[in-house]
Amino acid sequence: MEEGQITHKLRALCVTVDAKGYSKRAAKGQYELQHDLLGMLDAAAFDAGLDRMKWALQPQGDGELAVLPGDQDERLVVDAFVRHLDAQLTAFNEDRLPDARLRLRIAMHHGVAVDAPNGYSGPAPVHVSRLLDSAALREALEESGANLVLALSESFYEELVLSRLTSLRQEDFRPLEIDEAKFQGRAWVHVPSRSLPPCTDVPPCADDSNPAEAVPGNPVRSSAAPVRAEATTTADTVDGRLIGVDAELSDHRSAEIRSEMRLGSIGETGNVTGVRIGNGARDERES
């Protein structure tokens, strides 16, 4: 196999998100925005019945590019995920001054995305990023005064919305003409808080019978939503069990903690070294 040869291609839903006014904030404000944004995206996906832990994320500070696996229902991403995210933002922005509000642009497109050494390449990530960064979409958010605006590529709009595969309908969107040096085309824009109809059972929507309680001024979090965390191992044991406590996660009761973990390394001799967690007296032995 030649060096640099592409070995894996896929067609996937690409979702890009960007927060308005990030660069105008001080370092502390930027840190808090990133923290709040990720929390709301995770919670909105969970409430919509999606597993965001499976999404391949390419962080971008004030936003991200997400490439979704095929087992994530695209209808829920366009419909329930955006609706729950708008609810998160509504609770978060309540009683905040205009400059402190968190407002988002979101763009979606389905196409070829290639897993590359430093993220994703291919026409789909490029297309959706240009939709997100277009002056026309920035103006749409500014003019709407809403928490977020959603832009669907024309092909994705035709496949899902015009095919009536979500609760959204043609009248919930307006065309957005984009004419820039690197991109010319049409997208379709939806403003959830202005035109979203009540959720119906056909097509299926997420269950709203027991929504997470909204706390004004804070992101709405579902306590059972998976928590992203940097894992740190310790040598402390209690009754033979390896323990590690992070007080910042104490409010996520019943939540599952997921993290990418380095299990070990392969030495020059081919031997694998790493960590073995056993039980009882074996816990404190070196592996």
| 9-195 to CATH, choices 3.40.50.970, 3.10.580.10, 1.10.40.30, 3.30.70.1230 | 3.30.70.1230
| pLDDT of the residue at 59 | 86
- H/E stretch holding 82 reads helix 82-93
Contact call for residues 87 and 218 (beta carbons, < 8 A): no
- Residues of the chain within CATH 3.30.70.1230 domain(s) are 9-195
Omega cis (within 30) before 203: yes
Pairing status of strand 104-116 against strand 148-153: parallel
pTM of the model: 0.70
- H/E stretch holding 111 reads strand 104-116
Which amino acid is present at 118?
N
In the block, tokens 């919305």 appear at 161
DSSP per-residue letters across 213-238: PP-TTS----TTS-EE--------EE
Mean pLDDT of the region 266-273: 61
In the block, tokens 């240009």 appear at 130
Q: How confident is the model at residue 275 (pLDDT cuts 50, 70, 90)?
A: low
- Taking Cα atoms as reference points, which of 83, 16, 94 lies closest to residue 50? 83
Average pLDDT, the chain: 76
pLDDT in tens, 12-56: 999 999 999 887 887 888 888 888 999 999 999 999 999 999 999
pLDDT in tens, 190-248: 998 654 444 443 344 444 433 333 333 445 555 456 656 544 545 555 555 555 544 44
| pLDDT of the residue at 117 | 76
> CB-based contacts of 35: which residues, under 8 Å, 6+ apart?
none
